[in-house]
Structure 1
Amino acid sequence: MTRTGTTAAERVVHFVLPGDVDDPAAPSGGNTYDRRVCRDLPAAGWQVRPYALPGGWPQPDATARAELAGRLAALPDGAVVLLDGLVACGVPEILAPETERLRLAVLVHLPLGDETGLDPALAVELDAREHRTLHAVEAVVATSDWAARRLVTHHGLPAARVHAVRPGVDPAPLAPGTDGATGLLCVAAVTPRKGQHRLIDALATVTELPWSCACVGALGRDPGYADRLRRTVTGFGLDDRITFTGPRTGADLEARYAAADLLVLTSSAETYGMVVTEALARGIPVLATAVDGVPEAVGQDPDGGVPGLLVPPGRPAALADALRGWLGDPQLRDRVRNSARARRAMLEGWEMTSHSLAGVLERLRDEPRSTR
């Protein structure tokens, strides 16, 4: 089919986004990534035409499905289209009819079946739909090297069609912290995948040591889970030491980082872990479960040191031991803090993200259609 939507000189990408991408009550790494792509791609030579589509993605109702189908049908032949995976991966039957006419790429923040708390049958169905979607489109963008490898192996995708484009991070001032040890911060939506229950259980084993922990993140995504956490905190008698602040952005979030001595992240699945690099940009060490792309985000300092403490997933005792070590060993704290400050200077900015994504879009626009 002849492509008539763009000329050789045009660089326009139509970006299909979830409807809550700009909702301050629903901050997430995926939404932050999407917003920065919209903002920064023009500096890399690409105009962005965003379309935020309300709906219960990845299981949209008929209205949302019709809106997506209509948006795609209205685009000119040959248009370059980037779709957030939350919107795209559950509806292969909508994307498939457009694959011969449009240049489609899907940005996968988290594979659909990896979300915790899903009914097993639903997880299998969403995984199968994602498989069909990713095989239909011409390019897949993952947010870490680990995530790219996982998509290739899990879905049997050609490696040449899967591209790792890591999130960037903005420069930030060094966080003064509290006393260098006891100010703990968890920045994550309050959901089972983020694993605040693991953190609370571990903190309950070190009550003889001084610490306080602020859990910053949206509480409304799984209200039942949030309620269980509050009851657990009360049951342990830790209401004065563990607080749930709800989502924070802007100056409020900056103030939380400024008061932090250690970032804690106890997720069961993370394709990268943007809050890790947000903390390291401020010289804050990290304690995290070593799942998926988290070690890639933590990285190493120039001398090979690790700017934090990584513990195996599924080992509650290891998490508790790491907390006890951090709180009780000044030499360990000095070592990982110095490594975090050295790692800070090595972090990639968002301009590298936009440059890498622009390269993917350039190839998507110009290369002959791949053979399925």
Structure 2
Amino acid sequence: MTRRLVFAIPGDIETRSGGYGYDRRMMAELAGLGRDVTHLALPGSFPAPSPADLEATAAAFAAIPDGTLVLVDGLAFGAMPNIVTAQAGRLRLVALVHHPLALEAGLSTAERERLDRSERAALGVAEQVVVTSPATARELVANWGVEPGRLTVALPGTDPAPHATGSGGAPVILAVGTAIPRKDHATLVAALARLADHDWRCRIVGGLDADPATTAALRDQIAASGLSDRIELAGALPDVAPEYRRADIFALASRYEGYGMVFAEAMANGLPIVACRAGAVGDVVPESAGILVAPGDVAAFADGLGRLLADPALRAKMAAASHAAGQKLPTWQQSAAVLSAALEGVAR
């Protein structure tokens, strides 16, 4: 017998990001495990919903039958405390937190404080909180008042991949991440400007529409650095797998990651990594596979990239370690089984 689950997700489910990718894949895997999964599409304005969108969301939740198990993506859950509090008595509510909303980069102090209060209140009524990394679990216990007994860590899965073949020419540095402040492509570009005398090309893959101001500033920075012919903003692509296979180095200067699926994918493809020790990145990327520096440290990021560019032997050694670590990451089937067990516990 199938078991019903409503999975409430704000915005376009086809958005190319790690969080949406996790949601899409988990819906498919949970269905494969015998769950009757219904996707409830919520307005795309979360985590800053308009009054009209909150009203529509409240109506959608009110229409869900009593006793239904409802998994809510954290992009919405933490921003609608009044709705989940009102529904907690009749629905079995589970929050899926990719990373705390207040830790998004580029927020004003007022926005950060609002999201902190909102998410703290919402998480207080969740029967279970699912997170995508031990780092996020530690964060919620330490700073958001979530008891360990209500937490489940369901890591993103990673698909097996062949070892990257590389560019066959000037080393290709690949970054995968939407152009938003938290991904901090500006630090990567500033680091590359210090390495202009090295032979390399860089492709930054990820959506360019989420934050137009950030994208415009990034284009201006690339032009001002004189690197327009070496750094390409490729935008969002339907299939990123070929990008990993043709790259030689993976570099992303994120200031915070709730997990960092792109780092896992880079490891599955055997790419040496340069990144920042921020959020869960240090848990995902072992020291043998990557050079991790402090967030926003342009000099250290440039030094890490410079070491890999100048030393093919080091690059090959770290690539082998990265690939070996990537083979040990959980599959999507294994991760979905963890999530399904957590949901089953709530349903009982």
**Match of residue 13, structure 2, among 4, 21, 28:** 21
Which residue type is aligned with residue 307 of structure 2? G
Instruction: Determine if contact 1:55/1:61 at 8 Å carries over to the other structure.
Output: no
Of 87, 93, 105 in structure 2, the residue corresponding to residue 104 of structure 1 is 93
Shift of 1:330: 2.3
Shift of 1:70: 1.7
Give how far 1:249 is off: 1.7
Mind listing any 5+ residue stretches in structure 1 that lack a counterpart?
Answer: 1-8, 300-304, 367-372
Q: Which of the residues 245, 249, 252 maps onto 1:262? A: 249
Question: Which residue number corresponds to residue 127 of structure 1?
Answer: 116
Aligned to 2:302, which of 304, 310, 320? 320
Which residue of 1 is the match for residue 136 of structure 2?
A: 147
- So what's the TM-score if we normalise by structure 2? 0.96
Q: Which residue of 2 aligns with 1:307?
A: 289
Letter in 1 for 2:340: A
Q: CA deviation at 1:313?
A: 2.1
Q: Secondary structure at the match of 1:136?
A: coil
1:181 Cα shift?
6.8
Which one of 275, 280, 294 corresponds to residue 281 of structure 2?
294
Q: Are the aligned partners of 1:181 and 1:326 in contact in 2 as well (CA < 8 Å)?
A: no
Q: Which runs of 5+ in 2 are unaligned?
A: none
Residues 262 and 285, structure 1, Cα contact 8 Å, conserved in 2: yes
The secondary structure found in structure 1 opposite 2:119 is helix
How many Å separate the matches in 1 of 2:281 and 2:178?
Answer: 16
2:259·2:279 contact (CA, 8 Å) conserved in 1? Answer: yes
**Residue 320 (structure 2) pairs with residue 333 (structure 1):** no
CA RMSD of aligned residues (A): 1.4
Kindly report which structure 2 residues correspond to 1:1-372, keeping only aligned pairs within 5 A, or say none. Answer: 11-22=3-14, 26-179=15-168, 182-250=171-239, 253-299=240-286, 306-366=288-348
Deviation track 1:239-292 (CA, whole Å, cap 9, x = no partner) reads 111110110122xx2222221001111000101100011111111221111111
Matching residue's letter, 2:248: D
Q: What code does the residue aligned with 1:260 have? A: A
Q: Normalising by structure 1, what TM-score?
A: 0.90
The alignment covers a number of residue pairs equal to 348
- Give the Cα separation in 1 of the matches to 2:225 and 2:3: 57
Contact 1:262 1:286 in 2 (8 A): yes
